[in-house]
Structure 1
Amino acid sequence: MTPRPVIGISTFLSDATWGRWERKPSVILPERYPAMVRACGGIAVLLPPDSPDCAAETVGRLDGLIIAGGEDVDPALYGAPAHPLTVANAPERDAWEAALLRAALTAGTPVLGICRGMQLLNVVLGGTLVQHLPDVVGHEGHIGAPGTYGRHAVRPVPGTLLGGLLPEESLVVPTFHHQAVERLGEGLLVAAYAEDGTVEAVEGAGFTLGVQWHPEQGEDHRVTAALVRASALVRETALVTAD
């Protein structure tokens, strides 16, 4: 039996409490991320922020990579001053995840960026971000009430990788973001739009995909299942080469 593909998922650092322990620095990730990977047939491995120098070695032990959602990307990474509503307070995560993405892109490792992960993918490839989307679209329909996820429609672009995975004209997705892609990064193309024209997915060479929504918060796991399939092919190819 072919071993299940190993999918690394980035995490973040935050203070947390549990049991009898007071607040301590902790590695955090919503459980729905690894649950989604397991449901799609993969083995989930959590990747806490580490030295960027370790990124290539880390990616070399994975079959696929998910860059998870979270706080805003530091606008200094794309040469912009911070908007008053930008919350970019995780420099160690920015550096680690950017290094993971660069290593994965170089190695041809399948990548899925989710929300912040899609935005960072765009930035790593030289793109820029809209720092507060309501300033551009005139509404807050892309973000839910505090502590909840909103829902809105997205339109996959026919003929793209994503369009093949999600062939319907429009579908409603769980969403929570106030930033979005502005200028596309090099080698990326738009794979889905919101009804107001906001870029909702991007893709690049091989299996390089970013979605602005949160598939882990819903029941539609087709995008993640495709990542796991692409990662399984990487594993199978590696096993054949080793033999």
Structure 2
Amino acid sequence: MRPLIGITTYREQARWGTWDVPAILLPAAYADAVAGAGGEPVLLPTGAIGSEVVARLDGLVVSGGADVDPARYGQPAGPRTTVLRPERDESELLALRAALDRDLPLLAICRGMQLLNVALGGDLVQHLPDVEDTGIHDPGPGRYQGREVRTEPGSELHRLLGPTAAVACHHHQALGRIAPELTPSAWAEDGVVEAVEAVGRRFCLAVQWHPEEGLDHRLFAAHVAAAG
């Protein structure tokens, strides 16, 4: 049987046909990447994720999206932290903690990486352009910034991708204080941490870029394999 891979979703106002209503959304690339890697994608609706649902899964993908509420890591929101989804934070933190408690194979992407760090006691840089000598990581709405990341020798990411990898970025925030359980395993050319992993777990990998975009789905293949 194909492993069941839960994927967290967006809850946004959306328009199609004659409708303009709140909707549960997910870019199709996430589900396509999971299915292409041999998993059975299961969309987890924001606001309706319980630990009993996570217990039925074989793996969890935490998708990208809006900024994490800075109150979750003890900071006031800065002037560029304006799009928050508290309900989604609450729902995904529950899913993350349930997955970590079960040592469920976990792949966290972009916002997912940031939320994982917060869940484990870390915090965030709220606006990367405010950091001196930081390059472009968010080129604007609907676009990705191509970057090359360097991976840490001996890390799971190095084993999967090799010493360097071309990636697609779209993030204006990044990890600040990294949670004690997480170890950095990839960096952009400007030194921004682009991936972390939890050593000693079955599979716990978080990347700041979007591996669902493009044709390189090796991270999804590794995640699904671990879930199997």
Q: Which residue of 1 aligns with 2:184?
A: 190
Are 2:133 and 2:190, in contact at CA under 8 Å, matched by a contact in 1?
no
Measure how far apart 1:159 and its partner are. 0.5
Q: Which residue of 1 aligns with 2:72?
A: 77
Structure 1: which 5+ residue stretches go unaligned? Answer: 233-243
Are 1:144 and 1:151, in contact at CA under 8 Å, matched by a contact in 2?
no
1:83-98 equivalence runs, <5 A:
83-98=78-93
- Alignment length (residue pairs): 226
Structure number with larger C-alpha Rg: 1
Are 1:64 and 1:109, in contact at CA under 8 Å, matched by a contact in 2?
yes
Q: Which residue of 1 aligns with 2:37?
A: 40
Q: Percent identity over the alignment? A: 52
Q: Which residue of 1 aligns with 2:13?
A: 15
1:223-242 equivalence runs, <5 A:
223-232=219-228
The CA deviation string for residues 1-50 of structure 1, in whole angstroms up to 9 with x for no partner, is xx00010000011111222x320110011011100001100000100112
Q: Which residue of 2 aligns with 1:117?
A: 112
1:1-243 equivalence runs, <5 A:
3-19=1-17, 21-51=18-48, 54-167=49-162, 169-204=163-198, 205-232=201-228
1:73 alignment partner, SS class: coil
The CA deviation string for residues 203-224 of structure 1, in whole angstroms up to 9 with x for no partner, is 0132111000001112111111
Measure how far apart 1:139 and its partner are. 4.4
CA distance in 2, matches of 1:201, 1:69: 14
Structure 2: which 5+ residue stretches go unaligned? Answer: none
CA RMSD across the alignment: 1.2
2:166 alignment partner, SS class: strand
Measure how far apart 1:165 and its partner are. 0.6
> What TM-score, normalized to structure 2?
0.96
> What TM-score, normalized to structure 1?
0.90
Structure 1 residue ranges, 4+ long, deviating more than 6 angstroms after superposition: none
Are 1:78 and 1:128, in contact at CA under 8 Å, matched by a contact in 2?
yes
Higher helix share: 1
